[in-house]
Amino acid sequence: MLIQCGAVPLTLAIIYVMASFRFPVDYLSVAVVQGVLAAGLTWKLGLARWWRAIQLLFPLAVLTALALQLPSWLFGLGFLLLLGWYWSTFRTQVPYYPSGPAVWDAVRQLLPADKPARVIDIGSGLGGFVLYLSRARPDAEVSGIELAPLPFLYSWLRARLSGSRARFVRGDYEKLDFSRYDLVFAYLSPAAMPALWRKTRAEMCPGSMLVSYEFIVEERPADRILHATEGDVPLYIWYF
């Protein structure tokens, strides 16, 4: 948004020059100039390449939406849904994308067979892993914590409607005390790993483990690396 706003003065200057040379100026030409300038700024600022396409097409998308005369509440609804789904992804740098049953089963096999374990999925998304594990290991205490309200609500409803013992909490895992868990499962992003490592190292008890799907900790190589299926990205395990 800041880039689009930053491009506005330059767009106005270019349109002014075009008009003074009697170039035909209409909303479409304004949208094209604005999009090209915003994409150029995006490139200059070194953002990821796909942002250039978004910035280029954004003013044209606004024009199209205006031409369709969509009711204004639709934009409000779209905003609320996206807010509920992504919440503070801009801060955490961890959006939602799910792991799958093969990964969940590989994590299940890491649990000791002879004693009940306390397991948490930090950033539990739609709740697939937590629901699976509480079904597969009825003796375990399995919970999930999720920051974004919509995925949390969905997982909470799934647990209630299916009569699962799984527990879902809405909140920030950074505020949890990890010493209460035998296994912490994380499927986050590279940006979240340094702080996660500092927290696990400070709080996790001897005998417990951190399992991270796909993302490594730069500070310490994993004690064990597993592949849920051949060719799948690894599960990294650190023992405390």
Ligand X SMILES: C[S@@+](CC[C@H](N)C(=O)[O-])C[C@H]1O[C@@H](n2cnc3c(N)ncnc32)[C@H](O)[C@@H]1O
Binding site for ligand X (CB under 6 A): 92, 94, 96-99, 121, 123-125, 128-129, 145-148, 151, 172-174, 187-188
Shortest approach of ligand X to residue 100 CB, angstroms? 8
- Can you tell me the distance from the alpha carbon of 81 to that of 86, in angstroms, rounded to the nearest whole number? 9
- In the numeric block, the tokens 């001897």 are attached to 206
- Can you tell me the distance from the alpha carbon of 99 to that of 104, in angstroms, rounded to the nearest whole number? 8
Cβ pair 30, 15 in contact under 8 A:
yes
Burial of 147 (0-12, 13-18, 19+ CB in 10 A): buried
- By beta-carbon proximity to ligand X, the closer residue of 92 and 200 is 92
- By beta-carbon proximity to ligand X, the closer residue of 94 and 235 is 94
- Can you tell me the distance from the alpha carbon of 210 to that of 88, in angstroms, rounded to the nearest whole number? 24
Beta strands 167-170 and 209-213, pairing class: unpaired
DSSP 8-state assignment for residue 26: -
Shortest approach of ligand X to residue 135 CB, angstroms? 15
- By beta-carbon proximity to ligand X, the closer residue of 19 and 157 is 157
- By beta-carbon proximity to ligand X, the closer residue of 14 and 150 is 150
- How many Å is the maximal CA-CA distance in the chain? 83
- In the bound state, the residue with its beta carbon closest to ligand X is 123
- By beta-carbon proximity to ligand X, the closer residue of 111 and 147 is 147
Shortest approach of ligand X to residue 146 CB, angstroms? 5
- Can you tell me the distance from the alpha carbon of 122 to that of 151, in angstroms, rounded to the nearest whole number? 13
Shortest approach of ligand X to residue 91 CB, angstroms? 8
Shortest approach of ligand X to residue 187 CB, angstroms? 4
